[in-house]
Structure 1
Amino acid sequence: MSAQSAEAIAESGHMDAASLPDWVIPPPGGFTAEIFLRMRDLPRHTELIDGSLVFVSPQRKWHVRVINLLRDELARQAPESLCADREMTVKLGERQAPEPDVLVVSAEAYERDEPSTYYLADDVVLVVEAVSPDSEIRDREIKPRRYGEAGIKHYWRVEEDAGRTIVYVYEFEPAGAAYALTGIHHDQLKVTVPFDIEIDLTAVRKRR
């Protein structure tokens, strides 16, 4: 049953549990990644975080444009051994399967046929999250912890402030077992890891 059908049932006032989608009522202890990855008819961009389903609100124009810019530039500048992708689920652990806005993975993982709907944590070199009003706590606190625990070395958090795009760049620091902030980039993003990258962040406003 689709999400739209569930909404129709709710509006009618006839909330028969047997008629609702399986994902409306979580199992004891929450969903596992294995169950989540087999589920169908979920709303687009649904994530699994700490065993709970997380649904996202409609994307803003800035959010779409910054994702497109970063994915395109990372794909263009990446070495042959790496590829950029966008909005693909990453299976991090037993109850973790988030969907980063942009990610850089090994070329081998990008090109393989199976699994076709998600990546594994070991495939991922960089994850990027563009913060929306409803995702601030997840993108600033929860997701970085889960990505770090899964061994993903590089994390970028992208935010909008008064029309400017700002990128907070983090690198996992093993001694502290957490991400360390290595730079805050306004207008121009220039880093040397995980490879040489230079992106004009003002281009977000110019994209169509």
Structure 2
Amino acid sequence: MRTLELPDVTEWTPEALERLSPEFRYEVREGNLVVMAAARRPWHADVQSRVRNLLVDPGRPTYIEQGVILPHGEIRTCDVGVFARPPSGTSAYHPAADFALLVEVVSEGSRREDREVKPRLYASAGVPEYWRIEEDVDGEAIVYQYRLARPADGSATYVETRVTTLTTLEA
């Protein structure tokens, strides 16, 4: 088993995360550091690559596993991030306002996060579009597409705009 050396910090910031071992993925949830192994399931990695290839074709700056800096000290990692404009090449963590679209590929251990928590965080940060991708019983990637909406009460939420397969989007 590998031991992860952690710096003595009072607050987890993008700069503090940048100093940690690149062997792992990191998020900050309610002020707590969460250390994750990279997704190892081939289906998940394949879908990430397919989505990136799909979205980068129109010339949008699109990258796998980007750090998203959210309000209230939250820092999450998306599976695929599409930037509104080319990001700085010096950091792995970017303000949510820099993204036009965030994509999450649902895994066994990320269902609640990807279905409930991350969409709420991303919407409240003003990210215009969110996609959630889930595997159906036949192994097909089902894409749930959402657009940011602001109801009369002024809150931010996502409204489902389309459900389709990744294969259909690629065609």
TM superposition score category, shorter chain reference: 0.7 to 0.9
Structure 2 match to 1:4: 2
Q: Gaps spanning 5+ residues in structure 1: where? A: 7-20, 190-197, 201-208
| Mapped contact 1:167–1:186 kept (Cα < 8 A) | yes
The letter for the 2-side match of 1:95 is G
Aligned residues: 166
Of residues 184, 193, 202 in structure 1, which corresponds to 2:163? 184
Residue 66 (structure 1) aligned with residue 64 (structure 2)? no
Comparing both structures, which one devotes a greater share of its residues to strand? 2
The letter for the 2-side match of 1:132 is S
- TM-superposed deviation, 1:130: 0.2
| Structure 2 CA distance for aligned equivalents of residues 141 and 35 of structure 1 | 27
**RMSD between aligned alpha carbons?**
2.4
Structure 2 match to 1:168: 144
Structure 1 match to 2:20: 40
- Per-residue Cα deviation, 1:176-198 (whole angstroms, up to 9, x for no partner): 52111111113544xxxxxxxx4
Structure 2 match to 1:199: 170
The letter for the 1-side match of 2:156 is A
The runs of at least 4 aligned residues of structure 1 exceeding 4 Å deviation read none
- TM-superposed deviation, 1:54: 2.8
- Per-residue Cα deviation, 1:25-74 (whole angstroms, up to 9, x for no partner): 986xxx44356435413751222222223333542110000000110111
Find the structure with the greater CA-based Rg: 1
Structure 2 match to 1:85: 63
TM-score (norm 1): 0.70
| Mapped contact 2:28–2:76 kept (Cα < 8 A) | yes
Percentage of pairs with the same residue: 30
TM-score (norm 2): 0.84
Comparing both structures, which one devotes a greater share of its residues to helix? 1
Of residues 15, 18, 22 in structure 1, which corresponds to 2:6? 22
- TM-superposed deviation, 1:118: 1.7
